[in-house]
Amino acid sequence: MTQSVSALPASIRDFLDEADRRLAHRPKLQRMFRNCFPNTLETTTKLLDDGTTFVFTGDIPAMWLRDSVEQVRHYLPFVREDEELQRIIGGLIRRQLFYINQDPYTNAFNETASGKHYNDGDLSDMTPWMWERKYELDSLCFPVQLLYDYWQASGKTDVFDDACYQALVSITGVIRTEQRHMEKSPYRFLRPGFKETETMQNEGLGLPVNYTGMTWSGFRPSDDASLFGYNVPGNMFAVVILGHIREIASTIYMDEGLAERAQKLREQIDFGIRAYGIVNHPRFGRIYAYETDGFGNYCLMDDAGTPGLMSIPYFGYAPADDPVYQNTRRFALSFDNPYYFEGKYAKGIGSPHTKDGYVWHMALSMQALTSTDEQEVKDLIEVLISTDADTGFMHEGFDCNDPAIFTRPWFAWSNSLFAQVICKAMDKGWV
């Protein structure tokens, strides 16, 4: 790991000193927080000469639009008075917008137009900028959320330039096109020779979907292929960010046409979620499905990635006390969810992206971030602390019967989510 930011911004240094004092009674937690909170800034952030910021994911050298947002979200409360932090996050926003304007269907990009790809055999409209071109709806949502939250937190409007406007128009257009994926989409993706979770069926188009009002996504936030096309939590996230686009279009760009298009899309997608995305479960009642195709087929599960069903209050679609969310949460944390696992050291949500029996630290952190129960949060913090395999950092998935067996030793998004949990606990006096 090479440090890319020469020194931590002053506000971050001051907060770490404050956290050291507040966590002094918990030495291991104190050390882990000091490791995890600045991890993105210390190890995965590059300030580029063009004024933008490249934030790679950790042990993979590419920048994911989704991951890079989640890696810096916990720094936003400090951004208003810290010009160094404004340079870092404002630069990241500009880099994300640049990438979206290169291609809105791409999930992960190279630092330069190097031509490096995850797999050189991918069949899609690849360019030298693209690490891989898996279309994930959330990859368009996260940058808009960061753009909006940065504006609200900092009061800065310099990021709202022509490139930003172009990206917002493009995002809105792709979401609208993918409402009728089978008829209108230009997107195709094939990864020959790989397992079915790595490629699209039907010659790269995906399995058939029916019009619902929702918008299609080829891949899930885990980078695994969607089964039924309409990812429900991804569509919920789209409802949230289309509200942001509407406000930005109207307030910043004075473009009521774009604002109206975003609002119309928002209403159509939300209707589709309510009409097609809720099922009656025999044990839990009305719950949100993870995916549907509009033909009556559903995927009932939850995955450790965000956006997922557990994270609905986190990204702002519904509050934590929403009855359907509460039913869905109980489902997700039960063996009715095929990716829920229990073992000697942990119980929680994993993913088809990793082996059965692997719980993800990100899922445990998200469970804590969306919980309103003090004891649940405290218990989850203890699990997080005790399953780091004595590395001082979070990982991706780990064997719930042996945390020393884990994936991804350097995964900045997971470290950032853990840091958010501890910030929440400190704010509430729960740690």
Q: Is the pLDDT of residue 25 over 50?
A: yes
Q: Give the mean model confidence (pLDDT) for residues 336-345.
A: 98
Distance CA 139, CA 137 (A): 5
The pLDDT mean for the chain works out to 97
Spatial CA neighbour of 344 closest among 400, 292, 394, 264: 400
4: pLDDT strictly greater than 80:
no
> What number is the average pLDDT over the span 24-34?
98
| CA 151 vs CA 80, 89, 166, 185: distances in Å | 10, 11, 18, 32
172: nearest Cα among 219, 220, 137: 137
> What are 153-179's pLDDT values in tens digits?
999 999 999 999 999 999 999 999 999
Task: Report pLDDT digits (tens) over 36-54.
Answer: 999 999 999 999 999 999 9
Q: What is the spatial distance between Cα 303 and Cα 309, in angstroms, rounded to a whole number?
A: 8
Q: Which residue has the higher pLDDT, 6 or 282?
A: 282
Kindly report the CATH number that applies to the domain delimited by 10-428.
1.50.10.10
Residue 47 pairs in a beta bridge with: 53
Separation of alpha carbons 18 and 11, rounded Å? 11
Write the pLDDT tens digit of every residue in 269-315. 999 999 999 999 999 999 999 999 999 999 999 999 999 999 999 99
Percent of the chain with pLDDT over 70: 99
Average pLDDT over residues 332-343: 98
DSSP secondary structure letter of residue 224: P
Q: Which residues make beta-bridge pairs with 341?
A: 348
Return the domain boundaries, the chain: 10-428
Structure tokens belonging to residue 155 = 């009061």
Decide: 422 and 431 in contact? Cβ < 8 Å. yes
Q: Is the pLDDT of residue 208 over 50?
A: yes
The pTM assigned to this predicted structure is 0.97
CB 334 within 8 A of CB 340: yes
CA angle, 135 as apex, 109 and 184 as ends, to 5°?
A: 130
Query: For 337, what's the count of Cα atoms within 13 Å in the CB-facing half-sphere?
Result: 32
Helix then strand then coil, % of the chain, to nearest 5: 45, 10, 40
How does pLDDT run across 348-359, given as a tens digit for each residue? 999 999 999 999
Q: Are strands 230-231 and 130-132 parallel, antiparallel or unpaired?
A: unpaired
Tell me, what's the pLDDT at 3?
Answer: 40
Amino acid 230: pLDDT: 98
Burial (CB count <10 Å: 0-12, 13-18, 19+), residue 222: buried
**The pLDDT value given to residue 279:** 98
Going by pLDDT thresholds of 50, 70 and 90, the confidence category of residue 2 is: very low
* Short-list 218, 224, 155, 233, CA closest to 188: 218
Distance, CA of 370 to CA of 249 (rounded, Å): 30
Confidence bin at 316 (pLDDT 50/70/90) = very high
